[in-house]
Amino acid sequence: MHMLFLCKSARDIWYFSPLRLDSKTGEDLSFNHWCSSLLQINNRREWWDLFWSLLWGIWLKSNAWCFENKVLKIEDIITRAVYIVGEYEKANAKTPTDISIKQPPRHYWQATAMGCYMINSDAAIFRDSTAGLGGVVRDSVGDVVVATCKISGCLEVNVLEALAARHSISIALEAGFNKLILESDSLKLINYLKHSKFEHTSFGLIMRDILHLANFSTSIEYSHVGRLGNGVTHKLS
């Protein structure tokens, strides 16, 4: 129990993982009773897949320290566990991950209804291995009410597109706009959000963040637009 749950590094792994567990609550329990108590809280298979992967990661971290004098980083243990679960789910998926959209995308910006605000987000990768994330919020007549951009490390393209969308929605909500349409030229991003899809990958975890942020809006829709219809945000990013 000490090695797997109660020592400081193990507690940090459980707390900072997507499971957000406070392992100190099981301080007086045996391993079996601790797992039984967690089962009362959550019995979803995906949750337990990640639980066992994290447990295995903590075991390997301890072995690396005891027998090889190596210190494995906490974030690496969490990332590896999430990756393993994501790869397992992909390997066992019965249907393709991406859901196709039948109608062709628009290639122009389209005005919204009165009182609704359009968020356009995009990401751009530079030659120096950095990336720009951009977002533009416009009102029903097309006037820009918020523009935002930030620099990120160079990651996989879909992850960057997701980060740009998450940043843009967060800024729009902070500015007080809560009736929103998120528009992006990333087909995968929009498909996942429209169907509330979630997987244990870096991209999937950001999708979960965006869907969580959406709960703070009065209403939100997701729209796919062609690259030409997202030109302003692309140049900003």
> Bigger pLDDT: 142 or 91?
142
Distance CA 186, CA 157 (A): 9
Q: What is the mean pLDDT of residues 182-195?
A: 92
pLDDT 10s digits, 100-135 = 445 566 666 677 888 899 999 999 888 887 889 999
Whether the Cβ atoms of residue 165 and residue 173 lie closer than 8 Å to each other: no
Choose among 111, 155, 107, 149: nearest CA to 130: 155
Q: With cut-offs at 50, 70 and 90, classify the pLDDT of residue 61.
A: very high
Task: Please state the pTM of the whole predicted model.
Answer: 0.56
144 three-state secondary structure: strand
Give all strands (DSSP E) within 161-208, no chain letters.
179-184
Cα angle, residue 26 at apex, residues 20 and 31 outer, rounded to 5°: 105
Tokens 């290639």 belong to 107
Distance CA 55, CA 35 (A): 11
Residue 201 has pLDDT above 80, yes or no: yes
Distance CA 210, CA 206 (A): 6
Beta strand 117-125 with 179-184 is parallel
Domains of the chain: 2-91 (no CATH), 117-236 (3.30.420.10)
Residue 99 has pLDDT above 50, yes or no: no
Residue 198 has pLDDT above 80, yes or no: no
Q: With cut-offs at 50, 70 and 90, classify the pLDDT of residue 44.
A: confident
Q: What is the pLDDT of residue 93?
A: 66
